[in-house]
Amino acid sequence: MSTFSLDPGPDQIAVRDWLHGFAADVMRPAAAEWDEREETPWPVIQEAAKLGIYSLDFYAQQYFDPSGVGIPIAMEELFWGDAGIGLSIVGTTLAAVAVLANGTEEQIGTWAPQMFGTPDDVKVAAFCSSEPDAGSDVSALRTRAVYDEAKDEWVLNGTKTWATNGGIAAVHVVVATVDPALGARGQASFVVPPGTAGLSQGQKFKKHGIRASHTAEVVLDGVRVPGHCLLGGKEKLDERLARARERAAATANGDTKGVSGKGGSGKNAAMATFEASRPAVGAQAIGIARAAYEVALDYARTRVQFGRPIIDNQGVAFTLADMKTRIDASRLLVWRASWMAANQQPFTSAEGSMSKLYAGETAKWVTAQAMQILGGNGFTREYPVERMHRDSAIYSIFEGTSEIQRLVIARTISGMPIR
């Protein structure tokens, strides 16, 4: 187990500076254009791929960094550059994390490389969990997966929504219900390979923020995938479902003493992905907040009103002090959770949810204060804080709303089934 440290090593500093340069020189000059176009910035993604930033190898190196802070450092710098383009560059990693969290070594080796493609033929991937009637309530998923034993194929039917890269992805990872009677415990994740018949893009959403990132519905109409596309394999799924049924039967009879606690009822496919990604999402929010804070600080130093820079006013100076404090506090929470996850330390107080909750709320607050400090200028598209404020809004909503994060934290610290 590595020692927790707030002092990045020389390799991490080198990566941070490299990404910062890319964010400053490539992402920021393109940010306003792609936000206005509301299209996937393929040229920027390809440039990132040519440099090795958009690649399986790069993200694997950061993911397996024993310090745990490789991914947070990378996310913060890219989203400091621009959140919309940043999400287009890193959106594939959510699908990759789903495969890493639920798949076998063979499945990881097969599907993860196909999610990124090559620098000359860039691909993206999509993780499909939410549905029109099931957002925070993952137990309400209606997308079904039925096993056709004669053909060793799974047949998927349903509609997914809010899918980053949905419909334009080469590889889709879909969470579907296998046994509806078990609710969230009866779900599994499936890889839908490139070109599979029956998968199509539904509505593409026009969004308030992160507009350079493609978000759409994914329609699954009789989609057939080979048996080996079930992440983790059928034997493992059958064992997990058997435990869940045993547990459900014992609970219904009011007797849980005979149910083995080992392994419980198995992890939920969607939740396993979100648990692994929450600190990284928090790091994205920190990048946005830091960018807005730096703009506001520079503006306050140079903007003169009543014969002096506005930072000389205590109201502005104290706000900047609070902005910086909240950003640094958020980073501490994210780094702690990331280190714990990398070193297999249990989240006994829902530290992953804490980090995402606080960082997301901080990004919204900091960007709002930055707009206030810039006054009328902050409300225009001539300055980037207006875009940063729009981009930050999603961080109290996606991958678990702030309310859901508080619920997870409350349940964890109390041990009670709070609703």
Residue 349's Cβ-side half-sphere holds a number of Cα atoms within 13 Å equal to 6
Place of tokens 């009011």: 254
The total of other beta-carbon atoms located within 10 Å of residue 152's CB is 11
Place of tokens 């607050």: 365
Residue in 351, 298, 303 with CA at minimum distance from that of residue 323? 298
The answer to whether residues 68 and 345 touch, using CB atoms and an 8 Å cutoff, is no
CA–CA separation, 166 and 204 (whole Å): 9
Place of tokens 């415990």: 185
CB-neighbour burial class of residue 374 (10 A; exposed 0-12, middle 13-18, buried 19+): buried
| Alpha-carbon distance values, 52 to 60, 192, 308, 320 (Å) | 12, 26, 46, 36
Q: Which two tokens stand for residue 199?
A: 């998968």
Instruction: Name the residues annotated as catalytic.
Output: 399
Q: Which two tokens stand for residue 156?
A: 């998927």
CA–CA separation, 168 and 171 (whole Å): 9
Calculated CA dihedral for residues 263, 264, 265, 270, nearest 10 degrees: -70
The answer to whether residues 225 and 192 touch, using CB atoms and an 8 Å cutoff, is yes
Q: For 340-402, list the strands marked E by DSSP.
A: none
The answer to whether residues 359 and 333 touch, using CB atoms and an 8 Å cutoff, is yes
